[in-house]
Amino acid sequence: MGLSQSDIRRIAGFARKVTKAPSVETVISETFETLKAIANIKEMRIVYSPAPSSWKEWKASPDSVEVRPHDEWPAPGKKGLTLLFDPDDEHSGFVSVDKKGEKVRSTLEIMTPEVWCALLLQSALRRVQKAAISETELVRETFRARDEERRHISRELHDDLGQSMASLKLGLKWAEDLVRKKRGMEEVVKELSTARSDVGTMLEKIRDLSHTLYPRILDTLGLVAAVKELAYQASRHASLAVNCTVRGKGRALGKEIDVALYRCCQEAISNAIRHSEASKLEIEISFGEDEVRVTVVDNGKGFDPRALYDSNSRMMTSGFWTIRQRMADLGGAFRLSTSEGHGAVVELIVPYSSRKNHASRKNKTAPR
């Protein structure tokens, strides 16, 4: 086959190096250097398909290496010699050189499968790294959402409850002084009655806060009833007609899915109330074959969804950002369709196969 002992040793060294190569660039340059040394080639093309219908091409010559992506199959030229990565698939990719001859063919026949393996390995490594990064990002973003919620609760406690308590304390002190001096009983009664009504307001606030921390209705009545309750609360806004429908046979989804869907639905409803100026709100919970879908549709003024993103395509606004994170965490999806003047549709979709669906594994009881 025209290969000397030292050529074979060189190819063996090449195989060892490319399996441990730190990058695709190293794979390409080692291939070129080895082919240059053994077969005296001047030019080399490597085409590789990292994903269906997409190819990447490296063109190496003694002075440079060019890299180009392709959406169309970049066929090898007629001159020189080409070996396909997968002989059964002509679009699998190839190594092509500018020389022909027995020695070049033998060298390429040994090296081409090694190059393909090394490139496949590099793609797999990149995918694993990407998955690890998005997992880290998810954890970081979960913490951000949690901190956001804590900031909200802390603000409510400090600004609302804190101030009401402080003024209640002052009022009680004033009443206490009057009683001690046995003067102004009428005013004392007035002050006490204001204090009583303040305490009533504070109790409501505490109930709301406790609900914000955890909507207990989910435990007692389940997701469907809890969403209906949200719809009922929304319908108390005089200008809004709210309709809530349930389709399909309800089923237990597990606490995490219940809480996430409830929270996201609450955010979508609160957005419609705060921002949309809608007169109609349609909420639908649909139990399908493989997934549950909650849809919130308003007929309001809509908006340009591009406003939710900054110039680096990162979502900025916290409400939709949290919805997206919650759905991603469940392996579900969040879809928003809106345009100025045409209302907004928010869809929340969670597959029953979500790994958070403990209910499907433990008990199959339907929600109350």
Ligand X SMILES: Nc1ncnc2c1ncn2[C@@H]1O[C@H](COP(=O)(O)OP(=O)(O)O)[C@@H](O)[C@H]1O
> What are the CA-CA distances from residue 299 to residues 21, 208, 280, 343 (Å)?
57, 28, 6, 4
Residue 305 within binding range of Mg ion, rule CB under 5 A: no
- Give the chain's radius of gyration (CA, Å): 33
Our CB check for ligand X shows the closer of 34 and 266 to be 266
Q: Which residue lies nearest Mg ion, judged by its C-beta?
A: 319
Partner whose footprint covers residue 164, from ligand X, Mg ion, none (CB < 5 to 8 Å by kind)? none
Question: What part of residues 255-274 is at the interface with Mg ion (CB under 5 A)?
Answer: 271
- Nearest CA to 298 out of 353, 358, 247, 231 is that of 231
Partner whose footprint covers residue 331, from Mg ion, ligand X, none (CB < 5 to 8 Å by kind)? none
- Amino acid letter for position 189: V
Partner whose footprint covers residue 300, from Mg ion, ligand X, none (CB < 5 to 8 Å by kind)? ligand X
Closest approach of ligand X to the CB of residue 153, in Å: 16
- Nearest CA to 60 out of 85, 86, 34 is that of 34
User: Judged by CB under 5 A, which of 319, 331, 351, 367 binds Mg ion?
Assistant: 319
Closest approach of Mg ion to the CB of residue 319, in Å: 3
Sheet arrangement for strand 291-298: 241-247, 280-287, 291-298, 344-351, 333-338
Partner whose footprint covers residue 256, from ligand X, Mg ion, none (CB < 5 to 8 Å by kind)? none
User: Alpha-carbon distance 255 to 176, whole Å?
Assistant: 48
The angle formed by the CA atoms of residues 262, 268 and 270, to the nearest 5 degrees, is 100
- Write out the residues near ligand X by the rule CB under 6 A: 267, 271-272, 275-276, 298, 300-303, 308, 317-320, 344
Residue 31 within binding range of Mg ion, rule CB under 5 A: no
Closest approach of Mg ion to the CB of residue 368, in Å: 29
Closest approach of Mg ion to the CB of residue 48, in Å: 45
- The answer to whether residues 324 and 278 touch, using CB atoms and an 8 Å cutoff, is no
